[in-house]
Chains A and B, each alone.
Chain A
Amino acid sequence: MKNLIEVKNIRKNYGKKEAVKGITFNVEEDEILGLLGPNGSGKTTTIGMLLGLLKPTSGKIFINNLKLEENRIEILEMINFISPYIELPKKLTVKQNLYVYSKLYKVQNIKERIDYLSEKLRIGELLNIITGELSSGQKNRVSLAKALVNEPKVLLLDEPTASLDPEVGDFVRTFLEEYKKEKKISILLASHNMNEVTRLCKSVLMMKNGEIIDQGKPEDLITKHGRTNLEEVFLKLSRSKNEFN
């Protein structure tokens, strides 16, 4: 399988503080890779570097074989991101927001794309509603529609189901599974929901203090660490004092 994301020994320092300490990983086409770790472990910094919002202190990032540093615009055209910490303009209707972002991503058949996403994400009845008036679950689905408006090859998800009720959370997970299978995209999923990670991810990276401290398939990590589920593995690794692997 082709690697759509290749991260080679990237570091990020803020002054003397090392936020990310030379990590290397790949994400294949048609793969969801889980990025796990306690708060402050470097997950958001890693995602920021992949999005071109942060400049790595050293190391290289390739998306679809293009070097990020030299091909920022071309790469941003094939990538997208969703996070509960960023929102769409609240005073625009859902349709206006999707139309604006379709223009920013130079989507060719905007109407068809919005109709497709509306049907898939069940937001058809929300299109003429002001975005600021939506519930958390509705906002989440609309943000997901925005993140898919450019048919990204690479999708970065930062806690995509945080603060959602179980029904909406399950809808989003099922949608992501089916969309990934249909479009063969790569997804990097940062999440604190271990059931979600176990269900969606082919493999996971465990980060702590800016380093990858373990990686592998969820079931293999559970066996390796002698635990019964991924949450217990997470707790063991995040509480350990650098007793990696």
Chain B
Amino acid sequence: MSLTRIYGLFLRHFYLITRSFPRILDLVYWPSIQITLWGFISNFFATHTTYYNNAVGVILTCAILYDFLFRTSIGFNMLFLEEIWSRNFTNLFIAPMRIGEILTSLVITALIRSLIGLVPAILLTSPLFGISILDLGIFLFFLFLSLYIFGITLGILVSSGLLRFGPSFENIAWSTMFLLAPFGCIYYPIETLPEIFQKIAYVLPLVYIFEEARNILINQTVNINNVYYAFMWNAFYFSLSIGLFYYSFNAAKNKGTLINMGE
């Protein structure tokens, strides 16, 4: 055993971490986010044991909705990352494609990818657990649409970061959803969060979507305001993400990221 060689290999990874802010961020927030998310979930179930009459159904429905959001967002990022990993990025950006065409193509592909994953999951819940997500009725469509728009929005925001900062932004791509999960109130009502976190949650469409899913399943009523607020915030963040993508594209042309991306 050579300590010098062991130290040399340690240095190889240490230099990599210390040279990249996204990598440092990645190390720090994964444990923090996991603890925060599961802390809120545990806290809620410990103090509200009778909240869910049909706990399995509500939790599974929320899990499927969240997974759809996760698949859509990651799916979009994956499409972008695939071009970087295969060193095809430059070929794509020298093709006569408008930014709108690139985004539209990725949005459609991400939807198809998500649906391929979603349909078997929905079909499995019925025979395995006697639960159907279709219990949400016609509003299921609006909830899925809202989640899809937000998933795409996150995908575009992360892709903007990849354009601007290059492949080192990749780690952020994997973890955006986990960063937002505690604020999304997927498995617990918004009142479970501390007040400061509630303020953040209220400016995200997620909280309205999951609150409404629980409302329909538990109270058998529909609060159209939740659907409306989800779409309103979605429209805001989606417009913001498109603007940011164009800004990042121009910034990348100034900085030279586009030409170095494939190398």
How near does chain B come to A150, taking the closest CB pair, in angstroms? 8
> Is A51 engaged at the interface, CB distance under 8 Å to the other chain?
yes
Q: Is the CB of A86 within 8 A of B98?
A: no
In the complex, how many angstroms separate the beta carbon of B101 from the nearest chain A beta carbon?
9
Q: Does B96 contact A (CB under 8 A)?
A: yes
A201 within 8 A of B: no
Q: Which residue of B86, B90, B96, B98 is within 8 Å of A53 (Cβ)?
A: B90
A89 vs B92: C-alpha distance when bound (angstroms)? 11
Do the beta carbons of A73 and B90 come within 8 Å of each other?
Answer: no
* B87, B89, B262 interface centre (most CB from chain A within 10 Å): B87
What CA separation (Å) do A14 and B253 show in the bound complex?
Answer: 11
Residues of A within 8 A of B92 (CB): 104
Task: Collect the chain A residues with CB atoms within 8 Å of residue B87's CB.
Answer: 85-87
Q: Are B95 and A101 in contact (CB under 8 A)?
A: yes
- State in angstroms the CA–CA spacing of A91 and B31 once bound together: 35
Closest beta carbon of chain B to A75's beta carbon, Å: 8
Task: Tell me whether A48 and B259 are in contact in the complex, defined as CB-CB below 8 angstroms, given that A53-B94, A55-B250, A73-B96 are known contacts.
Answer: yes
The reply to whether A45 and B97 contact each other, CB–CB distance below 8 Å, is: no
Is the CB of A54 closer than 8 A to any CB of chain B?
yes
**CB < 8 Å neighbour of B262 from A86, A90, A101:** A86
Q: Annotate B230-263 by CB proximity to A: 1 below 8 A, 0 otherwise.
A: 0000000000000000000010011110110011
- Number of B interface residues in the complex (CB < 8 A): 24
Residues from chain A with Cβ under 8 Å of B263 in the complex? 85-86
Residue of A nearest to B98 (CB): A73
Given the known inter-chain contacts A54-B253, A55-B250, A88-B88, please indicate yes or no for A104 contacting B95, CB distance below 8 A.
Answer: yes
List A residues 78-119 near B (Cβ within 8 Å). 79-81, 83, 85-91, 101, 104-106
Knowing A83-B90, A87-B86, A90-B86, the reply to whether A54 touches B256 (Cβ < 8 A) is yes
* A44 nearest CB across to chain B (Å): 7
A77 at the interface (CB under 8 A from B): yes
Nearest opposing residue in chain A for B251, CB measure:
A55
Closest B residue by C-beta to A79? B94
B141 in the interface, Cβ–Cβ < 8 Å? Answer: no
- In-complex Cβ contact of A51 among B82, B94, B98 (8 A): B94
Of A55, A79, A86, chain B has the most CB atoms within 10 Å of the CB of A86
Within 8 A of A (CB), among B84-136: 86-98
Would you list which residues of chain B between 22 and 48 have a CB under 8 Å from chain A?
none
* Alpha-carbon separation in the docked complex, A74 to B263 (Å): 26
Q: Are A105 and B95 in contact (CB under 8 A)?
A: yes
Contacting residues, chain A, for B94 (C-beta < 8 A)? 51-53, 76, 79-81
* Nearest-neighbor residue (CB-CB) of B252 within chain A: A53
Say if the beta carbon of A192 comes within 8 Å of chain B.
Answer: no
Question: Are A89 and B88 also in contact (CB < 8 A) when A14-B255, A55-B250 are?
Answer: yes
Residue from B83, B255, B259 with most neighbouring chain A CB atoms (10 Å):
B259
- CB<8 Å pairs between A and B, sample of 30: A14-B256, A44-B259, A45-B259, A48-B258, A53-B90, A53-B94, A53-B253, A53-B256, A54-B253, A54-B254, A54-B256, A55-B253, A55-B254, A73-B98, A74-B96, A77-B96, A79-B94, A81-B91, A85-B263, A86-B90, A86-B263, A87-B87, A87-B262, A88-B88, A88-B91, A89-B83, A104-B92, A104-B95, A104-B97, A106-B96
B residues contacting A by CB (< 8 A) are 82-83, 86-98, 250, 253-256, 258-259, 262-263
Q: Which residues of A contact B (CB under 8 A)?
A: 14, 44-45, 48, 51-55, 73-74, 76-77, 79-81, 83, 85-91, 101, 104-106, 146
Given contacts A54-B259, A76-B95, A89-B88, 16 further A-B contacts (CB under 8 A): A48-B256, A51-B94, A51-B259, A53-B253, A53-B256, A54-B256, A74-B96, A76-B96, A83-B90, A85-B87, A86-B88, A87-B87, A89-B86, A91-B86, A104-B92, A104-B95
